[in-house]
Amino acid sequence: MATLRLGDKAPNFTAQTSEGEIDFYDFLGDGWGILFSHPADYTPVCTTELGTVAKYKDEFLKRNAKVMALSVDGIESHKGWINDINETQNTSVNFPIIADEDRKIANLYDMIHPNADDTLTVRSVYVIAPDKTIKLMITYPASTGRNFDELIRVLDSLQLTAYHKVATPANWKHGDEVVISPAVSNEDAKNIFTKGFKEVKPYLRLTPQPNLN
Ligand code: BEZ
């Protein structure tokens, strides 16, 4: 298996999930996708993560993004665990969880790092664009729960780049100024960025976030 890298096509698969059999590409349609792995069912950090993601449903919807989780346990285990997540996190899991007992998809997406653990997955996140290319990969150890505000932030950044030819500077957050791509000339920038831009250096040009009123 070749290691996946940014810009690669996200491999398609068919999986048994808590919501039935799903073809990944059909599930994503022409929107954005997030595939994220969990070491195992009935574990504390994962329980809080899945509850948190369920509560962010509207944020993902606003960004035309669908979420699919993966854990290496079976369907019946997932169903029981979902009840626990709903009860303890005061939510309702509203996305499919892949039952990857044979680790086919975990291996396809390089989610098992044998020197960390040779059977359970690490905490991987893949953000997949509408053209099915991989735009972002994040890998956390099992012991650290992910920051889903950060995931929303990078999704916003990726979408600004995809739709508005801008990049986002260090610690950027929604509403802050953004950076004009070096590929855009000043001449073109005047037409594209109608709110104007500041040229701090020829290679460092700032403009208000374009998709805000
Ligand atoms: C957890 O989700 O809490 C967890 C899973 C595997 C190892 C450590 C923590």
Helix spans in the chain (H): 24-28, 44-55, 57-62, 75-89, 104-108, 148-164, 186-192
Domains and CATH numbers, the chain: 14-146 (3.40.30.10), 164-207 (3.30.1020.10)
pLDDT attached to residue 159:
98
Q: What percent of the chain shows pLDDT beyond 90? A: 98
* Residue 1 confidence class, pLDDT cut points 50, 70, 90: low
Active site residue 101: no
In this predicted structure, the answer to whether residue 2 has a pLDDT above a threshold of 80 is no
pTM beyond cutoff 0.75: yes
Q: What is the average pLDDT across 140-155?
A: 97
Pocket of ligand 1 (CB under 6 A): 39-40, 43-46, 142-143
21, β-bridge pairs: 16
Question: What is the atom index within ligand 1 of the atom nearest the CA of 44?
Answer: 3
Q: What percent of the chain shows pLDDT beyond 70? A: 99
Ligand 1 centroid – CA 45 distance (Å): 5
Q: Whose CA is nearest to atom 7 of ligand 1?
A: 142
Q: How far apart are CA 24 and CA 18, in angstroms?
A: 14
pLDDT attached to residue 213:
80
Query: 3-state SS of 41-57?
Result: CCCHHHHHHHHHHHHCH
Q: Which of 46, 50, 97, 125 is catalytic?
A: 46
Using DSSP bridges, classify how beta strands 97-99 and 65-71 pair: parallel, antiparallel or unpaired: parallel
